[in-house]
Structure 1
Amino acid sequence: MATVTLLETNGLSRRFGGLKAVDGVDFRLDRGEIRAVIGPNGAGKTTFVSLVAGRVPPSEGSIRFEGEDVTRLPAHARVRRGIAYTFQITSIFGNLSVFDNVALAVQSALAKEAGFGARLDEAEIRGRTMTALDLTGLAARADQPAGTLAYGHQRLVEVAMGLGLAPKLLILDEPTQGLSDPEIADFIGLVRTIAETATVMLIEHNMAVVMDLATRITVLDRGRILAEGTPAEIRADARVQHAYLGT
């Protein structure tokens, strides 16, 4: 089956004063991939995905999603087009229940589908919300205030919120941080399930997770792409071994 490009950047750069956090990145992501973006601290990973999601404007370059130029679109407009980004720092509503956090995302997705002013079906909101909670293992915690969850479970609420948006591209930023080993194993299964209907891009420092999950890996170093390839190719790349893997 022919590959279809979902996301493409050309010459994408972002400067913060004299620092070039992202420096002329040409990047292509195909529909259906699980792509890991890795690199040492300060490599520009979070800035890069923030540019893709519209949370940070580029200094130079362009971003195309499903063939359309989205370079100047704000984050909320990119969400409507199908780009969902779970933040590196949890951004849940701590005083609301787990269910209500995810239901807000579901309502947003349904409103996009139905059109402005359309009446939303409460049963569909509940059904989609519970599906996202079931997938992330949070159904039993649906009524719990989200702010009382352990950090790792708050991250899973974010993932459930991302799923509630029915994304075409789900960007996960350090998703396994704070999870126990059994929870990480469950998370790997979750991402594989998500990838049946959405493309996944994740920033992740846990190399066992990266090597297990990713179909391809992009390595950033000092804001530039150092290497790209399959897990086996990246593991064998001498430049990556020197810059990041420490071998």
Structure 2
Amino acid sequence: MNLLGGVFQAKDDKACREMKILISRLLREDSVEDDNRFDVSKDTLYHLCHICFSALVLCLSEAIGTDGSKRDRGVLMAEIAREADNLQWIVDILIEKRMANDFVKLWADQRELAELHSKIPTMYRHEISRITAQVCIAIGRGNILVPKESWFLLLSTWLDALYEDFGWMRRAYKSVDKKLVEDGLSRTILTLSLRQQQIILLNWFDRYLNKGDECPNIKRAFEVWWRRAFIRQYTDVEDGSQLQITVCSYPN
């Protein structure tokens, strides 16, 4: 806990990045060797997640002026980036140690943070959306297994933010693999009920038509959902989705 907390409090960004890489490698090696020389508990990791949530809420509140703060905007934005990076690091460790299942519900419950996120410029907030992308990739790889309702809650809270920030994420971070994010998001959506898929994918359809490559391309998920929905409809298999789509509303 002291080592991880010490990294959070680092003043030098370069040293902080180096120590994150080192500690992650040591934890990974420790897990492989299974001798628990440098293990960290699940409770500790989730405690650090809550510290990050609180710090991000505070920073975003200051950034939009809800607390009357007069601090320099550039300083606040740097703090947002740092706290988001801290959270990404902890989530990476949770995923690596197969402890991230509870994080899905926890992240879905951060509605206050999501609301604040929507009120600041994309160029300063996109680091936070990388956490959602990170979780979707882990889902696509089968590293996180939770009930479908948890997926839907996660997407209900954070999917719009991911759509809005996707273009900035790709440009700002070459390490963001567009295809991995899109595949993970597609797999996540396709685990839901047909009704939930319909809600999400019709919303995506409109966004993609207007934003193009600035929005994740999940047309594969759209195609799979479409085929499933209409095959089930015409074979009289009950799905409860009550699918009603106007393919063309223009007069003849």
The question of a shared fold, defined as TM-score above 0.5 by the shorter chain, is answered with no
Q: Using structure 1 for the length normalisation, give the TM-score.
A: 0.30
Q: Using structure 2 for the length normalisation, give the TM-score.
A: 0.30
**Would you tell me which structure has more helix in proportion to its own residues?**
2
**Would you tell me which structure has more strand in proportion to its own residues?**
1
Higher relative contact order (CA 8 A, sep 6+): 1
